[in-house]
Amino acid sequence: MGQTKSQFSDEELQDYEDLTFFSKKEILLAHKKFKSLAPEKVGHNKNAKLSMSKILQYPELRVNPFGDRICKVFSSSEDGDMTFEDFLDMMNVFSDACPKKLKAEYAFRIWDFDGDDMLGVSDLKQVIERLCGSENKLDDCDMKEIIHCILAEADFDDDGALSFPEFEHVTDKSRDFLNSFRIRL
């Protein structure tokens, strides 16, 4: 712990504590976890940029079907590579204390594959494919049906895609969103 502590100045730690939902101890723990992904590199430079493949070694992200999307969304360089600050940002959003609205915002971005700020048919298709895994293939007809159902349920203004407010409406009403969209540090 002592060594990890020495990598941050007090001011930096205070900043992190102020701007995230973590306490100082948790921030250091986060850094420890970050460091365990690439011990030498981070040991030299605490803010080293790790490549996406390295970040995807993190247990929860490794098995997450949206791992690469999560990396891309939180990466400051938008290519999936992450510095410690990006990593902290990510853990912050996935933490328990994070409000539902912020979580919904990032969940929306993670699912918005084409980046048009709408969850269109193609986005939803990818989401469902990833959720079902590579072995379980839904046939086209089923897929269409599911997407149709989702849109019928959630697409209030009938424009064939979920906008953020519509998405947030679903997450607001869902009992399990907070439970499931969470990674413990």
158 binds another protein (CB under 8 A): yes
Pick the binder of another protein from 69, 107, 113, 123 (CB under 8 A): 107
Pick the binder of another protein from 5, 53, 57, 172 (CB under 8 A): 172
- Within residues 110-129, the interface with another protein by CB under 8 A covers 112, 115-118, 120, 124, 127-128
* Residues 6 or more apart whose Cβ sits within 8 Å of residue 98: 21, 92
How many Cα atoms are found within 13 Å in the side-chain-facing hemisphere of 71?
Answer: 22
Angle between helices 100-111 and 164-173 (to 10 degrees): 130
Of residues 35 and 147, the one with the C-beta less far from another protein? 147
Pick the binder of another protein from 27, 91, 123, 166 (CB under 8 A): 166
Give the distance from CA 180 to its chain's centroid: 12
* Three-state secondary structure call for residue 145: helix
- Within residues 50-89, the interface with another protein by CB under 8 A covers 59-60, 62-66, 73-74, 76, 78, 85-86, 88-89
3 binds another protein (CB under 8 A): no
DSSP result, 71-132: HHHH-TTSSS-B-HHHHHHHHHHTSTTS-HHHHHHHHHHHH-TT-SSSB-HHHHHHHHHHHH
Of residues 35 and 67, the one with the C-beta less far from another protein? 67
Pick the binder of another protein from 30, 54, 55, 94 (CB under 8 A): 94
Structure tokens at 174: 């869902």
Q: Which of these segments, 2-10, 37-45, 49-57, 95-103, binds another protein (CB under 8 A)?
A: 95-103
15 binds another protein (CB under 8 A): yes
Angle between helices 164-173 and 140-154 (to 10 degrees): 90
At its nearest, how many Å lie between another protein and the CB of residue 107?
A: 7
